[in-house]
Structure 1
Amino acid sequence: MQEIIYPRSLQKGDQVCLIDPANAYTEAGVDAAVSFLEGKGLQVRVADDMAFRHGTPIERAGKLNRIFQDENCGGIFCIWGGYGTMSLLDYLDYDAIKKNRQVFTGFSDITAMHLAIGQKSGLVTYHSPALYSEKRPTTAEAFEQFWDKIENVERERELKNLNGEDFQVLREGDFEGIVTGGNMTLVSRLMGTEYEIDTKGKVLFLEEVGEMPYRLHGMLSQLRMAGKLQDVKGILIGALTDCDTKGRPGSAMALVQDALEGIDIPIIANVRAGHIKDPITIPLHGKLKASGGRIWQCAAE
């Protein structure tokens, strides 16, 4: 079984860093993120701009590695997603990441880094809410459950949709295993690389935004034909935001179900994590268990 390394829990007074490996940050974005983190008693610094259009991959990764190598930094927070994190993966200092065990959070395009860090170091990272978004501002409840997970990283807790909706059991069954995945497009783009997702004996979590239903079907078909759905313990379908064909509500989920037809493993949908205002924080590379349509984050062993 893959080694599970938990980050150091964040405490008041710890130093953390805001980074932007995908999109360039804005003053409004930085102000919102700093306000939340300082409100939790953290000391916040903002990294040099490392967005996709600002420097070569080696230059951008160099800025990021200086943060990973900083033993005084307890947490690294990606302000939002976008494009460009894949080009950093070959140049990251995975030894420093494993040694310093910093809390690492982000979503969307940051999936590329989640997968690489998990496979190269075994560190639990967090598929988290956006620290700033004009289009889908994160709710206070989502921020609070996010904070609870990074302040108490090893504690068992039940995962629940913050809007009160139940999860949707598409195929019944209990499971327990390390969870991997994230944004479906990034999972697909890493196929055939050394960072290709490892799903054997694991729980697969997938979410998406702004993709047509036929593209979701195609990406899931790719995973299925590549053998990535054969030996998984279970599948969690997160938010499929703005993915329905115009005028056909539900068409995205219908094609997802079609692509997963005949796979004899537990599948749970309506796991509200991803590009929404109130997402669940998912501890990627940590262990989850499910029974009777309920999901728990397992305690550290």
Structure 2
Amino acid sequence: MAIKPLALQQGDTVGIVTLGSPLDADVINRRIAYLQSMGLKVIAGKYVYAQNGYLAGTDQERAEDLMNMFADERVKMILPSRGGVGVEGILPYLDYDYIRGHPKIVSGYSDITVLLNALTQFSGIVTLHSLLLIDFRPGTPPYNFEQFFTATSSVVVPRPLNNPPEKPLSGKVPGSASGPIVGGNLTSLVGSLGTPFEIDTTGKILLLEETHEPVNTVYRYVEQLKLAGKFNDCSGILLGECTNCMDAYGQTYEDLINDFIVPLGKPLLTNLASGHGVYKAAIPIGAFANMNASNGLITFLEPAVRY
């Protein structure tokens, strides 16, 4: 069974790190203030405001910030400011054995996907495909906060995943699948192939979502995952949105799903609100779940946190 971090409570301390691309200091400070207004304390990493071209400091500096948050006994949750690019660069500099003994809530999406899965795979801790610091602002839908705080504070199971009412899950290939959920952003996962941090989908439910890519590029990434055996190994497929993805050659994202993913024959649910979309479900990475593509249901059988 996966290792679970302690649940988040009112007044707990959140560690803010920037692990990929830099983010404007004014934006970081406004988001921190909003987080504090929700009753949480904040500690900012040494390099959270750093800028090194398209990276927020060197790989070693960003990794140091993250490890310092795992070591700080005051910190209950680690919240990256954003994704962007470059998160994979910190992975070789992390102490996964130490992290295993000092689990913390880690949340994010986009390029943070590679970190979430690496922590689950090599440290055995449950992570959370959910909000980043940039999402803590007045315009964020209440659904997103409800999902986030339920996942980070509740140990009640079984717990159904409730998509927004206007966005029902759609079963494309009937059947059920069980296993830990892994995955996240498609581009980030493809980037892990052929590295020591390649995602392991064996017996797991594979979550995929994407943003701002033309459909022919999405096809290329899906085909690469297929050739790498990631669909053969998984027990089921859970597809999020392809947010602002452009049609190509008259083909849509829905066409790609029907033409190239449905024929894989794995239980398949689509239309999950996650990642880059307006609505963001909170998905525990590494926690055991069941998906029923015949009934359009996802049920978490294991919480993301413990008391």
Equivalent pair of 1:22/1:83 in contact (CA under 8 Å) = yes
Residues 1:135 and 1:229: Cα distance change in structure 2 (over 3 Å):
farther
Match of 1:295 among 295, 298, 301: 298
Equivalent pair of 2:34/2:136 in contact (CA under 8 Å) = no
Match of 1:43 among 37, 41, 45: 41
Match of 1:232 among 231, 234, 242: 234
Structure 2 unmatched ranges of 5 or more: none
Give the whole-Å Cα distance in 2 for the aligned partners of 1:136 and 1:293: 31
Instruction: Provide the residue aligned with 2:283 in structure 1.
Output: 282
Q: Does 1:254 align with 2:255?
A: yes
Give the whole-Å Cα distance in 2 for the aligned partners of 1:153 and 1:34: 26
SS in 2 for 1:24: coil
Equivalent pair of 1:32/1:131 in contact (CA under 8 Å) = no
Deviations 1:63-109 (A, max 9, x none): 22111222221110012211110100000121222111111011101
Instruction: Provide the residue aligned with 1:8 in structure 2.
Output: 6
Give the whole-Å Cα distance in 1 for the aligned partners of 2:282 and 2:236: 18
Equivalent pair of 1:142/1:162 in contact (CA under 8 Å) = no
Q: CA deviation at 1:141?
A: 2.1
- Counting only pairs closer than 5 Å after superposition, residues 192-231 of structure 1 correspond to structure 2 as 192-231=194-233
Amino acid at match of 2:298: I
Give the whole-Å Cα distance in 2 for the aligned partners of 1:33 and 1:136: 10
Give the whole-Å Cα distance in 1 for the aligned partners of 2:177 and 2:262: 19
Amino acid at match of 2:204: K
SS in 1 for 2:181: strand
Deviates more, 1:175-184 or 1:3-12: 3-12
Give the whole-Å Cα distance in 2 for the aligned partners of 1:134 and 1:154: 25
Equivalent pair of 2:34/2:137 in contact (CA under 8 Å) = no
Structure 1 unmatched ranges of 5 or more: none
SS in 2 for 1:132: helix
Residues 1:158 and 1:277: Cα distance change in structure 2 (over 3 Å):
same
Aligned-CA RMSD value: 2.4
Instruction: Provide the residue aligned with 1:92 in structure 2.
Output: 94
Instruction: Provide the residue aligned with 1:53 in structure 2.
Output: 55
Q: CA deviation at 1:198?
A: 0.4
Deviates more, 1:263-272 or 1:199-208: 263-272
Equivalent pair of 1:132/1:138 in contact (CA under 8 Å) = no
Equivalent pair of 1:130/1:138 in contact (CA under 8 Å) = no
Equivalent pair of 2:16/2:44 in contact (CA under 8 Å) = yes
Q: CA deviation at 1:171?
A: 0.1
State the TM-score, normalizing by the size of structure 2: 0.89
Residues 1:129 and 1:230: Cα distance change in structure 2 (over 3 Å):
same
Equivalent pair of 1:136/1:276 in contact (CA under 8 Å) = no
Give the whole-Å Cα distance in 1 for the aligned partners of 2:199 and 2:274: 19
Match of 2:28 among 21, 27, 30: 30
Equivalent pair of 1:5/1:124 in contact (CA under 8 Å) = yes
Instruction: Provide the residue aligned with 2:134 in structure 1.
Output: 132
Residues 1:174 and 1:54: Cα distance change in structure 2 (over 3 Å):
closer
Residues 1:79 and 1:56: Cα distance change in structure 2 (over 3 Å):
closer
Give the whole-Å Cα distance in 1 for the aligned partners of 2:138 and 2:186: 19
Q: CA deviation at 1:38?
A: 2.4
Give the whole-Å Cα distance in 2 for the aligned partners of 1:140 and 1:28: 24
SS in 2 for 1:230: helix
Q: CA deviation at 1:168?
A: 0.8
Q: CA deviation at 1:154?
A: 5.7
Q: CA deviation at 1:197?
A: 0.8
- Counting only pairs closer than 5 Å after superposition, residues 148-159 of structure 1 correspond to structure 2 as 148-153=150-155, 155-159=157-161
Instruction: Provide the residue aligned with 2:267 in structure 1.
Output: 266
Give the whole-Å Cα distance in 2 for the aligned partners of 1:89 and 1:154: 32
Residues 1:87 and 1:171: Cα distance change in structure 2 (over 3 Å):
same
Q: CA deviation at 1:219?
A: 1.1
Deviations 1:274-295 (A, max 9, x none): 1112111111111111232111
- Counting only pairs closer than 5 Å after superposition, residues 163-174 of structure 1 correspond to structure 2 as 163-174=165-176
